[in-house]
Amino acid sequence: MVENGKMILSPYGEIVKSEILAIHTYFDNVDVDEWVIMPNHLHLIITIYDVETIHELSLHQQQQQIHELSLQRRQQHDKQYHIKRRQMLIPKIIGKFKMRTSKKMNEIRHTEGYKNWQSDYFDRVIRNEKEYYRIKQYIVNNPLNWYKDKLYTEKPNT
């Protein structure tokens, strides 16, 4: 439920939150940069790193070269390879996330096998820094704009 522009999580929302925070433990080259859980949906910015980039990031982080390094790395590799790899990894991340959250919710409700999530999801590749900051701001402001959502209801879905 959203109160005064802030999301108040139900016990099921807390399960979703804990699994969002755990995503990076299941996938070494993945971070969840920004996220918000809403009453009827959620938003995530998922960052996928190349294995080499993860190592190089830790070496160069103090030199403030993260952005330049990522751009350099991307230009050196075949773009089609990255697109295919992301297309394969994102479904794995989302699938594991949905499976783990559903299993925990169903254990609480004693509803083994109940489908808690829609089978589909919307994803897009963030193409530049301007788009990244616009999307990040949208996520941060999502609870403030909840009353404008076309599926807004005053009573949360249970």
User: Six-digit token pair at 62?
Assistant: 């103090």
Side-chain half-sphere exposure of 96, counting CA atoms within 13 A: 13
Cβ atoms of residues 82 and 90 within 8 Å: no
Mean pLDDT, rounded, of the chain = 81
Angle separating helix axes 66-76 and 51-60, nearest 10 degrees: 150
- Please state, for a pLDDT cut of 70, what percent of the chain lies above it: 73
Total count of residues recorded for the chain: 158
How many C-beta atoms lie closer than 10 Å to residue 85's C-beta?
Answer: 14
**pLDDT tens-digit profile of 101-138?**
999 999 999 999 999 999 888 888 898 999 999 999 99
pLDDT of 21-56, one tens digit each? 999 999 988 999 999 999 989 999 999 887 555 445
Instruction: State whether residue 30 is helix, strand or coil.
Output: strand
pLDDT band at 78 (very low <50, low <70, confident <90, very high): low
Cα–Cα distances in Å, from 6 out to 114, 140, 144?
29, 10, 7
DSSP symbols for 29-55: TEEEEEEEE-SS-EEEEEEE--HHHHH
